[in-house]
Structure 1
Amino acid sequence: MRLRQSSIYLNLVLTFLLSIIPMYTLSLYINMSGAASVRQEITNSMQSRVHFYLSSYEAELSRVTKSMRDFINDGDLSTLSNLYPNIPTFERFKMLNRLESKLFLLNNSSQYISSSKLYIPSMGITIHGSGYDEAAIPAKEISEIRSVQYKTLSPFTMLDARLFMGSLFPLGLTAAQAPTSIIKVEISLRSLRDVLKQIPNTAEGGAVLFAREQDWYITSTQEAREAALIQTLKKLWENKPNDHKAGSERLKIDNQFYLVTYEPSEMLDATLLVYVPEKQILDPLSHYFVMLLVLSVLSVAVIIFFSYWIYRMIHKPLRSLVSAFRRVESGNMDISIPYKTAFEFGYLYRQFNAMISRLNTLIQEVYEQKIHSQRAELKQLQSQINPHFLYNSFFVLKRMIAADDNKNAISFVEHLGNYFQYITRNADDEVTLEAEWLHARTYADIQMARFRKRLRTDFVDMPCTYASLNVPRLIIQPLLENAYQYGLQNKITNGIIRVSCEVKMELICIAVEDNGEELTDEQLSILEAKLNSHNEHMETTGLINVHRRLQLKFGTDAGVLVKRSFLGGLRTEICIPIREVPNVPIVDY
């Protein structure tokens, strides 16, 4: 017995592996749970930071927007915009100075404001925090401010890599109306990027602010290595449904996983997104995983070596015992194992030799006797002709001839001839399933000549796939005979016998059922007990004979089952395994 053929060595290895697998599985689970917990904690922290910075940014810009809107009610701006020619020069300068002071305060009110300007078209001057001049706000910027103010939710617009906010006064202007004044606040991209850099709190992470309706975004870094990543995130984000919900995702970009946290802002009509490489977060935990993997490999190597050592200790005596069993399996019963050891294998060898001796005796005295007994029962069944069946058949034939029903008489004689030829042919103990099925139909045709007015017999087609399967002779007729003789003996009209064949879980099952009304639960239980009994001296009826012969040929998976039929009477079922069996006569089993 070579090593690669041994199941003991494999069993030893598997046993040791099974003993340590739970421990390593638990360790792996703890490692994975720790990684998941760390990932979740970092995700929660990122979500909190994103929410905090976004809320702060919204609050800051909301205040700036409110300050811009306050200019609509400013009396100086309203007077200069509408009554400029009628205002004295001194009053005009006082009003301009007050507006300049307000813009100065607005410039210094937020770290995000780079500059603010107030343009009055009627005067042709632009006021800013450090004075005023006659340079007008470019028409392109005014057009962008008008577009943002009336067409999008976002207060921002991006033009020539500059981000600014603006408003036209008075509010509610149409496209054809000219504004009386225009305010523009430019946002410092550098300050905004400085804030975005603080959110990831990692060296390789980043943040980006995406606009929903407009085609602009602001990143925490302008490095070239991040450009491809930002473009990939932008494409992914453009395909994401606009559900206005905060959340986190794990994305694979360029063969690297990222933890991405995002939160949309309705006020800004934009989404703040923060990404962190997962490797940077979970890298410390990966060292523990590598250590666990190395420990697992070493443990398996030790188990294999230790199992082989134990295997060698029991290999030689066990090989002798297995070799002896294989010789017995091949049919060689004249075998004895010599032994010198007094250990456990010596005891096994002694018991094996005693078992072989006892088996030879049992085969000679019991097994062969049982085989011959079974064959005698089959021969008895084949030679047994029920006198009432014979008398009734000739009476039916006489009645057909007396009625000049020659056609049916000829057919009836053919059925009788085939029937008696089949049951008296003793050359073969086995026939094909198709031949046994045809004999059962012949027997049913003979009986129907007698009972046509009382009952009918229905045959469901047998699957042709298994027509050539070898089965013991006379296994279906006893089931039919039992149904005619006991199931429907007192049925005056509307009697039904149904013969069907179906495949169930590698078994071909032939069922004979009737709609008799006299079967009681007690009778059914008695019949089941007889079929399951191993009493060799019990009277062998047709059903029990069929059951024993089927089990003798096909094993315990085969046999006869009885239960109550859906028709109301008895359902008798023959079960035959479909698996290939040696084509050996019953007497040789």
Structure 2
Amino acid sequence: MGGADFRLLFAVEERSEGEMRFAVGSWKNASIVVKLMIAFVLVILPLYGISIMITHTSSKQMQTEVEKAHESKLYFYHNHLQFELERMSGLVTEFSFDDTMSTLSTRAAIMSRYEVTSSLNNIHNKLGQIMVTSPYISDVVYYVPALHKRVSAVDGIRNVEDTEWKDLLATMGNLNGELSYSDNNLYFLKSNPYNMNHEEPPNFILGIRLSEEELKHRLQQLAETGGSDITLSFGEQHNVLISSSDEPVSAAQLHQVSPDSPESMQVTRYQSDPYLYYSLYDPDHSFTLTASIPNDVLQAPLEQYNLWLWTLTLISIVIIMIFSFSIYRSIHKPLSVLIRGFRMAEQGQTSIHIPQSRRDEFGYLYSRFNHMIERLHILIDENYVARIRTSEAELKHLQSQIQPHFLYNSLFSIKQMAEVENVELIQEFTDYLGQYFRYMSRDSHSEVSLGEEVDHALVYASIQKIRFGSRVQLQLEELSREYRDIAIPRVIIQPIVENVFEHALAKRSQGGILKLSYQVEHDKLSIRIEDDGDQLTDEVLSSLQESFQESANQRHDNEEITGLMNVNQRLRIKFGAGYGLCAQRSALGGLCMILNIPWRRE
């Protein structure tokens, strides 16, 4: 080997070692999270592969067992039917040698009429005994051509024309076996003596008529347990078909399913979408049992195992997700809490506080963040406390102005109801009035729950409804229980409702509508108060919209705008600049005031 070859071999080995060192170095420098995830996947994948193999093998075994079960059911009914047919064949042969039946035709000429009648009655009783031996027997008949008589276990004794027994005798053995098919009925027939010339009358004909209804009933019982349809056919050409369903398998399909060697007693299969056919032929009695099973029934066990496989896959994915979550939880979750706190602070929510009991680096960050928010809150308090006090003073001033005027109108309404002696309405009105003034005169709390504030606004609306009567309709949506505990400033909804009555509905003679509804979008709850007033112009609406966007210290000469601005200012002080009032034209035609407050699902 030359020097060049040694240098080439050395270069290849050096490059391989370099790639290995790079791979080892990359693995050492990889994050612990990556290492744990790779190790976890390497453990899960072999277990998952073994589970798939076991599931697939089990599903195939289950499908084979289902097919064997259908074959066993076919064999069972074949043995049962074969036993019944052999027993009926034996009964026909046995009673064909009965002394009374076999000799009546030859002795009738020397017997008296009474003796003939007595013999016929005796034969009728014997036919009845034969009939009760099997549920598959619908009738037993006995023909005496010499006497032109027919004895039936069901119909009794009657005269018969020669054409009837000749037609029956002509069908003997027409199904290539002991069974015969005549006039849409299956028979076991026996004549004595047997004669190929059907025109020459025998001494008697004995026949057992099979019950196709009972055969069909048994087939239906057998088909109920396996989800298949079973067809019983007689004759090599499937001349007679009895099925468990109303739509039996056609003779053409039965020819395809029939076994190649008729002498065998084996189940043959034939696949024809969407069915799988099982067929069993009995050469002794020339009948074929065929079961047609939908493919989806056979595939059901496989689908069940596939479902388990997908369930296992889903569980594996869930386990991986849980494991991944547990790995990232120590870093991702505390960092998300901190980021969320900064975002809330950016939105003006200075009342936030991150509860923490950690002693690691995130614990220090949480404590510094809470200290920063506390300092920021102090600065905001110093900046807004004067405006809050001013707003409260304006609210009390408005209450002192509104209450005497409202009290005068209420007392005047009570006087009118008293003049017409409407005691029940006075009771209802004064009850509402008491609730209203009790709420308005309560100065101990500057904040109440949203449920209390809405209830107060509804009390006020009910008072006005009594005053205005049929001129006003209230369309009030019920406040959901999950919103009732939201803390809001007191008396912010009732002034808006009062504004609707004073400026939109007071002059309406009929058809006035006040609508109260709620909408939730992301983390904001919107309370919509709408009317169908016809006095709102685009200029007034535009002015109102601009007023809500102006500075909180802006003063207005218009009392309507001043009251609404007071509500808007208090909301913005409480919840931040992203909340408060906004105005738009209602779908009803009048003004729609939207009161926005924060709400987050717990």
Q: Structure 1 length as normaliser, TM-score?
A: 0.42
Q: Structure 2 length as normaliser, TM-score?
A: 0.42
